Amino acid sequence: MPTLAYWLHSKFIDFKAIPDTLELTFSFVPFTAAVGASLLGAWVAARISARRTARIRPAEALSEASMEQRHFAWGQLGVGMLVLAFGIGVVVLLGFLRTEPASQPVTFLSVVVLAVAVSLLGPVIARIAVAVLGIPLKFSRVGGHLATANARANAKRMAAAVTPLVLFIGMACTVLFVQTTMGDAASAQAKAGNKADWVVSSNGPGVPAGATDALRALPGVTQVTEIVRTQVRVGLDKYPTQGISVQGLTTNWDPDVSRGSLKGFGDKSIAMSEVCADHLGKKPGDTLKVTLGDATVAELKVAAVYERGLGFGDLTMSHDLVARHVDNPLASSVLVKTAGDGKASREQLTDAVKRFPGIGVLDRTQVDDRQADVQQSNAEVNYLAMGLIIAFTAIAVVNALAMSVSDRTREFALLRLVGTTRRQVMSMLRIESALIVLVAAVLGTAISLAVLAAFSVGLTGAAQPSIDLPMFLGVLGFAAVLTAAATLIPGRVALGGRPADVINARQ
């Protein structure tokens, strides 16, 4: 575990999620708490699972062990429906959460709750799935008939195998596509709001004021707008903020103002995204007290509320005000508008700033590409953190499937004693694996799509989750590989002994 901790620490530093001066320290208390929580969870799970087993009569226990009970568990069905209703309620709630910090925990809670509902309703789902998928399997050979009969007779066993796989697919797709949904929405808003012909940016700390002055003096350049980025506090909460120069404000930049106006915007003004305005309960004309980067408190008048908060940040202030109160006052980018017969070319703009090292002139396509790179870099931090959860879920999938197959040693021996060949048994296992993957893929995908649609509604106002098809197919392919490995390898081991010896040994 210390090795993993050091590796994660180095990765977070590489992604600039934490400063390199933040050292990793170890304490005995978190380790003890983690071990204690694991032992307590294992003890509670063992007590619950063994409760009925310890009380049941031996003869009844042997009867239940030899054949799955056919009676319908109405209590389990009722609890499953209640959990499903609760999960649907959580998903609906997610659609009303308009900030990412509030949405993230509810997003993953939704997946877990719906997966629990699938677990409780698993036998019903398995029987429905077998009834539908068993129709084409009737026309297959022995393996298909055996797989259908086994799945129909052992719906609980199939449900137990499907549940962890549903959680894996649902969680993996949600983790991956929350980031693509956010990134694509932010990129689309930034692209729609950028009205400039060119964007000047720097590979270093920023674009100096001298470069901006050189651009303004260039013939054919009509508007030059500087943007500096920072964070400010409103109360105890931090908000991503941009300072934008008044010159060319409405010409180069369009945040899609829904309320108020940017006319007369200055050092005493502030504009807010719709999400931020709703969260803080502000409207145009109100006063907002913010704490700037150097701890200076400023009272600003809300001039406008805009829609494109994902693309431009929650708060917008004047460039001069922000630059006076940050460690790095250099512009992160400069928007340039050209017009008229003497319209400045890219070469002219590049010549005007060539004496400033690291300064480049980008067109719209290059700006979009850079925005995508930034979004990908930000997403990698979340991928790394949530990848651990996906890895643990994958371990649970392998354990559940491997144990399920290993417990069927006597069943395989009986099949071979009645004339079924080893190849036919393995064919049955392959078809069962395909059934499990197919059912889990449908359920897991449905869960993730529902959650992602609600997440998208909350943050963007439209149910438009962004799904990366190769990534999605990769998740399904990995799930199929896990299922095949956890099923076929234990199955081949279970078929290793002589059938008669296996039967005698388990009597």
pLDDT digits 0-9 by tens, 480-504: 998 888 888 888 888 877 777 667 6
Is residue 25 over pLDDT 80?
no
Q: What is the number of residues in the chain?
A: 507
pLDDT score of 144: 73
pLDDT score of 218: 87
Strand partners, 304: 260, 271
What DSSP element (H or E) covers 118? Answer: helix 100-120
pLDDT score of 195: 87
pLDDT in tens, 404-423: 777 778 888 888 888 878 88
Q: Which residue has the higher pLDDT, 87 or 127?
A: 87
Mean pLDDT, the chain, integer = 81
Which residue's entry shows tokens 């470069």? 211
pLDDT score of 1: 59
Q: Which residue type is seen at 136? A: P
Q: What span, in angstroms and rounded, lies between the C-alpha atoms of 293 and 238?
A: 11
Is residue 23 over pLDDT 90?
no
pTM of the model: 0.77
| Ramachandran angles phi, psi of 246, nearest 5° | -70, -35
Which two structure tokens, joined as six digits, stand for 53? Answer: 């087993």
Query: Between the CA of residue 473 and those of 167, 456, 495, what are the distances in Å?
Result: 16, 21, 32
Which two structure tokens, joined as six digits, stand for 213? Answer: 């002055």
Q: What span, in angstroms and rounded, lies between the C-alpha atoms of 185 and 462?
A: 10
pLDDT in tens, 443-473: 999 999 999 999 998 887 788 888 889 989 9
Q: What span, in angstroms and rounded, lies between the C-alpha atoms of 348 and 276?
A: 40
Q: Which residue has the higher pLDDT, 345 or 507?
A: 345
Q: Choose the weakest-confidence range: 12-21, 145-154, 221-230, 420-429.
A: 12-21
pLDDT score of 297: 92
Q: What span, in angstroms and rounded, lies between the C-alpha atoms of 421 and 417?
A: 9
Q: Which of 323, 335, 355, 345 is nearest to 211 (CA)?
A: 355
pLDDT score of 306: 93
Q: Which residue type is seen at 22? A: L
141 Cα distance to chain centroid: 41
pLDDT score of 375: 57
Highest mean pLDDT of the ranges 44-53, 63-72, 173-182, 341-350:
173-182
Is residue 300 over pLDDT 90?
yes
Is residue 73 over pLDDT 80?
no
pLDDT score of 16: 61
What DSSP element (H or E) covers 317? Answer: strand 315-318
Q: Which residue has the higher pLDDT, 111 or 131?
A: 111
Give 2's pLDDT tier (boundaries 50, 70, 90): low
Q: Which residue type is seen at 2? A: P
Q: Which residue has the higher pLDDT, 388 or 167?
A: 167
pLDDT score of 385: 63
Q: What's the rounded mean pLDDT across residues 325-344?
A: 81
| First-last CA distance in the chain | 43
DSSP 330: S
DSSP 344: P
Is residue 81 over pLDDT 80?
yes
Neighbours of 209 (CB within 10 A): 13
8 A C-beta contact, residue 198 and residue 349: yes
Is residue 374 over pLDDT 90?
no
Largest alpha-carbon pair distance within the chain?
Answer: 97
Q: What span, in angstroms and rounded, lies between the C-alpha atoms of 23 and 503?
A: 59
Q: Rg of the chain's alpha carbons, rounded to an integer?
A: 30
pLDDT score of 316: 93
Which residue's entry shows tokens 């298909």? 144
Q: What angle do CA 188, 191, 192 make, to 5 degrees?
A: 85
Which two structure tokens, joined as six digits, stand for 471? Answer: 């990534």
Which residue's entry shows tokens 């099923």? 487
Q: Which residue has the higher pLDDT, 145 or 181?
A: 181
Is residue 58 over pLDDT 80?
no
CA atoms within 13 A on the CB side of 286: 15
Beta strands 269-273 and 315-318, pairing class: antiparallel
8 A C-beta contact, residue 397 and residue 486: yes
Q: What's the rounded mean pLDDT across residues 261-283?
A: 90
Q: Choose the weakest-confidence range: 143-152, 208-217, 410-419.
A: 143-152
